[in-house]
Structure 1
Amino acid sequence: MFKSTINYKLIFLDILDKKYPEKKKECASILRKETLSILDIIELNKRIFGFFDEETNAFNQSHRAYNRASILQILDYQKHNKMNNSELARHFKLSRHTVAKWKKKYLV
């Protein structure tokens, strides 16, 4: 069976080459990784594009999708940084209810 995956590394390299060559050094440490995690992708977005207005943030957030590995990585980030659900939700721009649902589903 053919498994389709998105090559985010190549996408970000193309964006940096064509539009933001001055930000290549800032992103180099992340782009040297063999594979990019969801946290790496979020960090690259911040470094390259900066912060957006509230309307753009709301639109982008509503179109994010997380797989099981990404969810577990986010929950591990919470544990490692000793965050409560509200702090984690604010950090990743999620709802507290989403975080609680993930914990109930994946950490039981």
Structure 2
Amino acid sequence: MIKSNVNYRLIFRDILEKKYPEKKGKCQGLLDKENLSVLDIIELNKRIFGPVDQETDRFDQSHRSYNQASILQILDYQKKNHLNNTQVARHFKLSRHTVAEWKKRYLV
């Protein structure tokens, strides 16, 4: 859950209403959630705007930050899906080192 003054739900609903009304159905499940996590926001962004070029993706990834709840959600995803560090890093576009550090810090 994101603790922020930014109302992401309202922003995404406005974007869908004004520019991408045909994508509302794909996003409704996430928008109906009581609390949006960082991962939910990333997923909404993907569903609305689609894939981005490599340069933009690299820039965006280098400016992301994850709170403890999001990190634990990623590590839980890894455990539920029986993924190794490389696989989960590739899925979430992280470095293997980052995943290993999170595991040391949060799963000890």
With the shorter chain as reference, the TM-score category is over 0.9
Q: How much has 1:6 moved relative to structure 2?
A: 2.5
Question: C-alpha separation between the residues in 2 aligned to 1:89 and 1:11?
Answer: 28
Aligned length: 106
Question: C-alpha separation between the residues in 2 aligned to 1:4 and 1:59?
Answer: 22
Q: Matched residue of 1:64: which SS?
A: coil
Q: Which residue of 1 aligns with 2:69?
A: 69
Q: Which residue of 1 aligns with 2:21?
A: 21
Question: C-alpha separation between the residues in 2 aligned to 1:46 and 1:88?
Answer: 18
Q: How much has 1:106 moved relative to structure 2?
A: 0.6
Mark the CA change 1:33 to 1:4 in structure 2 (over 3 Å): closer, same or farther: closer
Q: Show CA shifts across 1:21-77 (max 9, x none).
A: 110111111111111122211211111011011101001101101001110111001
CA RMSD, Structure 1 to Structure 2 (Å) = 1.2
Task: Give 5+ residue unaligned stretches, structure 1.
Answer: none
2:28 paired with 1:40: no
TM-score if structure 1 supplies the norm length? Answer: 0.92
Counterpart code for 1:64: R
Counterpart code for 2:96: R
Counterpart code for 1:30: L
Q: Which residue of 1 aligns with 2:53?
A: 53
Task: Give 5+ residue unaligned stretches, structure 2.
Answer: none
Q: Which residue of 2 aligns with 1:31?
A: 31
Counterpart code for 1:68: Q
Instruction: Say which structure, 1 or 2, has more relative contact order (CA 8 Å, 6+ apart).
Output: 2
Q: How much has 1:96 moved relative to structure 2?
A: 0.3
Deviating more after overlay: 82-91 vs 32-41:
32-41
TM-score if structure 2 supplies the norm length? Answer: 0.92
> Sequence identity, in percent?
73
Map of 1:65-104 to 2, 5 A cutoff? 65-104=65-104
